[in-house]
Structure 1
Amino acid sequence: MERSPADLEGLMQALCDAEVSFIVVGGIAAVLHGSPTTTHDLDIVPEQSTGNLERLMSVLRAHRTLVRDPAGRRLEPSDAALAGSGQIQLVTDLGPLDILCRLHDGRGYDELLAQTVTIDAGELHLRVLDLPALIEVKGSTGRARDRMVVPLLLALLRERERSSLE
């Protein structure tokens, strides 16, 4: 299936319209905090209740979602995978979506909730991992591309701290 360029805002809108509870993490979280970085996918940690996962699966079906498979097989995401504890790399007709049932350190939606902020992005009100937590997560993944953004995020945090003192 040929995919058009990513419409990650449209993907977030679809999730919000369906009332899916999720936390934005990863590159989009950095961008929403003001980082001058780019990303090609949306990373989310969804709330794991049955109703929320049903709403999430409804959005995935509506947007012709497939699992990103190196062998090129046309695999659809499963309810069991969404309810699991791993990461599911997907491609939708709106762009790539990574669903992290739990982060690499084992924390899921409930454990992360206290470390989030709501960021308004146009009409969207998004729950996003807060800047200190995002810095900690990016710095601990072990991936070079995540570690590269940490200095930018630290600079944003220092600037916000300075601004709050004025």
Structure 2
Amino acid sequence: MKRKIKLEKDILDFVELCNKHEVRYLVIGGYAVSIHGHPRSTKDIDVCIEMSELNASKMISVINEFGFGSLKLDKEDFLKKDLVTQLGFPPLRIDILNDLDGVNFEEAWNNKKIVTFEHVPVNFIGYNELLIVKQKSARSQDIADIEMLKKRNKESK
């Protein structure tokens, strides 16, 4: 039985603001794993953004409009490699990553998968790029995700 994937309203609102402000972002992590064939629970949504001056400025606009202006983030916070900005609390926490480990953002952007939830298009990292990011991370959950994704992908052929 195929499990339906759902994005909560707060997360959809955040993504809608990213789209409105033309932020270059990709959903990675558990939600991306679900989209690519292995639905599983997750405590947050992981969003990687392109690390550029323009994109960082757009992300500040999103954060302010989303109601997190009191955090006093500035665009420099989105231009630092290996930095993760967390908004909210599980299970609605949004983790914003500034870079992808093992994958060039432009390449990942060009291979993204767009899935629409309640009329909101959402940019997900592509299958091959997701596998690379998961391999680089190498946490036990990531290894399990890789195995299940490859198994599901093989079964669907």
Q: 2:26 matched to 1:31? A: no
Larger radius of gyration: 1
- Within a 5 Å distance, the mapping from 1:155-166 to structure 2 comes to 155-160=151-156, 162=157
CA distance in 1, matches of 2:72, 2:142: 28
Match of 1:140 in 2: 136
**8 Å CA contact 1:45, 1:108 repeated in 2:** no
Gaps of 5+ in 1: 67-73
- Tell me which amino acid in the other structure corresponds to 1:118: I
- Tell me which amino acid in the other structure corresponds to 1:19: E
State how many pairs are aligned.
Answer: 149
Match of 1:113 in 2: 109
Match of 1:89 in 2: 85
CA distance in 2, matches of 1:36, 1:58: 32
- Tell me which amino acid in the other structure corresponds to 1:46: I
Match of 1:10 in 2: 13
- Tell me which amino acid in the other structure corresponds to 1:120: T
- The Cα RMSD (Å) is 2.7
Deviation at 1:75, TM superposition (A): 5.2
**8 Å CA contact 1:20, 1:52 repeated in 2:** yes
CA distance in 1, matches of 2:39, 2:138: 21
Report the more deviating stretch, 86-95 or 26-35: 86-95
TM-score scaled to structure 1, two decimals? 0.73
Task: Give the secondary structure class of the aligned counterpart of 1:39.
Answer: coil
TM-score scaled to structure 2, two decimals? 0.77
Which portions of structure 1, spanning 4 or more consecutive aligned residues, are displaced by more than 6 angstroms?
none
Match of 1:71 in 2: none
Identical pairs, percent: 21
Task: Give the secondary structure class of the aligned counterpart of 1:118.
Answer: strand
